[in-house]
Copies of this chain bind each other. A is one copy, B any other.
Amino acid sequence: MVARVKKVQQQPARRTAEAPALKTVTLLGATGSIGSSTIDLLQREPDRYCVEAVTANRNAGALARLARELGARVAIANKECLVCAGALFMRRAGAAGATILPVDSEHNAVFQALMSGRREEVRRVILTASGGPFRTFSLDALRSVTLEQALKHPTWSMGPKITIDSATLMNKGLELIEAHHLFALAPDELDVVVHPQSVVHGLVEFRDGSVIAQLGSPDMRIPISHCLGWPTRMATPAPRLDLARVGSLTFEEPDPVRFPALALARRALAQGGAAPTVLNAANEIAVREFVGRRLGFSGIPALVEATLDAAARRGELAEPESVEEAVAVDHNARRLAANLLPEIAAMAS
């Protein structure tokens, strides 16, 4: 179910008069891009952080278990836990009194912006999307996009799965579902705006008309340090934002015709139940097939849509009541997507 598990867990240690509090950090997924940035930060403050355990694996269960067992702070950089079993995850974290800190630059930005008001004063949360490498491509041009083109993200350097998700905008769709769970927001309280410069990472609109935004250079050490240091802010060596040098920040509506993945994620979010789990599973199969050059770029959302439709027809969209049920939904959806693949690949080629 989970391709990448990248997570930092902290626990405040006994504070003495002589030394600042030592935080014990367990780093699951130390080899990925988030893990490397985290290690860079930890090494700069050896007196404040003690790395207890470092792993690189595919086990999502450990995350929920840690939250349950420790009543601690859990910094989450992993989308799939929340997308596939968000209600379960947040319920268990809540029961354990764990604070979930999002490492993702967009959700971390929203977390920071939310500090300027109260939950009931929030009118809307807006995630920014770079728009990916094909932002300006025509519908025709999108059909003949190559794997090499899709692997070049304009702003962030990341693994192939998330880079392709950024190109289809499915990444932003998954982030909407994440935000729904992390911040307890209704689908109509969530929005996306395309912002190619990736300087504004997220915004919160309050009911007075104030919009609070978090901006910064595209450097993951900023959101990671926010999770490590929270509720205080650490100094980081991230490049300082110079708005006059950036010159211009642009914003546009995402185009639902050229990028249907975002609308599919919105549909799954509105449907609720297991729909987001099915969406995610089908997308993982679709991206794997695209990377294997067995499915065209526009086949990715087509396969996701066909899988969602088929799962709905089969009555397989009930809310998973346990992690085991979520895993079963995931497996069934993958099989469904694999079965639908030949037809979709032929249609989209």
Please, which residues of chain B bring their CB within 8 A of the CB of A113?
116, 212
Please, which residues of chain B bring their CB within 8 A of the CB of A221?
209
Q: Which residues of A (196-241) have their CB < 8 Å from a CB of B?
A: 200, 203, 205-217, 219, 221-222, 225-226, 229, 232-236, 238-241
Task: Give the distance in Å from the alpha carbon of A131 to the alpha carbon of B253 in the complex.
Answer: 28
Query: What's the interface size class on A, roughly?
Result: 35 or more
Of A65-73, A242-250, A268-276, the segment with at least 4 beta carbons within 8 Å of chain B is: A242-250
Task: Give the distance in Å from the alpha carbon of A80 to the alpha carbon of B171 in the complex.
Answer: 50
Query: Contact at A213–B210, with CB atoms within 8 Å?
Result: no
Query: Contact at B206–A241, with CB atoms within 8 Å?
Result: no
Contact flags A104-123 to B (C-beta < 8 A → 1, else 0): 00000000110111100101
Q: Which residues of A (245-272) have their CB < 8 Å from a CB of B?
A: 246-253
Determine how many copies of this chain the complex contains.
2
- A310: Cβ under 8 A from any B Cβ: no
Please name the residue on chain B nearest to A194 by beta carbon: B244
- A39: Cβ under 8 A from any B Cβ: no
Query: Contact at B116–A115, with CB atoms within 8 Å?
Result: yes
Query: Contact at A244–B248, with CB atoms within 8 Å?
Result: no
Please name the residue on chain B nearest to A118 by beta carbon: B232
Query: Contact at B193–A243, with CB atoms within 8 Å?
Result: yes
Please, which residues of chain B bring their CB within 8 A of the CB of A234?
207-208
A contacts with B: majority SS? mixed
Please, which residues of chain B bring their CB within 8 A of the CB of A247?
250-252
Which of the residues B194, B212, B214, B229 comes within 8 Å of A112, measured between beta carbons? B212
Q: How far is the CB of A167 from chain B (nearest CB, A)?
A: 20
Query: Contact at B211–A214, with CB atoms within 8 Å?
Result: yes
Query: Contact at A117–B215, with CB atoms within 8 Å?
Result: no
Query: Contact at A241–B193, with CB atoms within 8 Å?
Result: no
Query: Contact at B206–A233, with CB atoms within 8 Å?
Result: yes
Query: Contact at A232–B121, with CB atoms within 8 Å?
Result: yes
15 residue pairs bridging A and B, Cβ less than 8 Å apart: A115-B116, A117-B233, A121-B233, A200-B213, A203-B215, A203-B243, A208-B226, A208-B229, A209-B221, A210-B222, A212-B215, A213-B214, A244-B252, A247-B251, A248-B251
Give the 9 A-B residue pairs with the shortest CB-CB distance, closest first: A209-B238, A243-B251, A211-B215, A121-B233, A207-B235, A208-B233, A209-B222, A115-B116, A249-B249
Beyond the given A116-B212, A200-B213, A205-B241, please list 10 additional residue pairs across the A-B interface where CB-CB is below 8 A. Answer: A193-B243, A203-B243, A207-B236, A209-B240, A209-B241, A210-B222, A212-B213, A244-B252, A246-B251, A248-B250
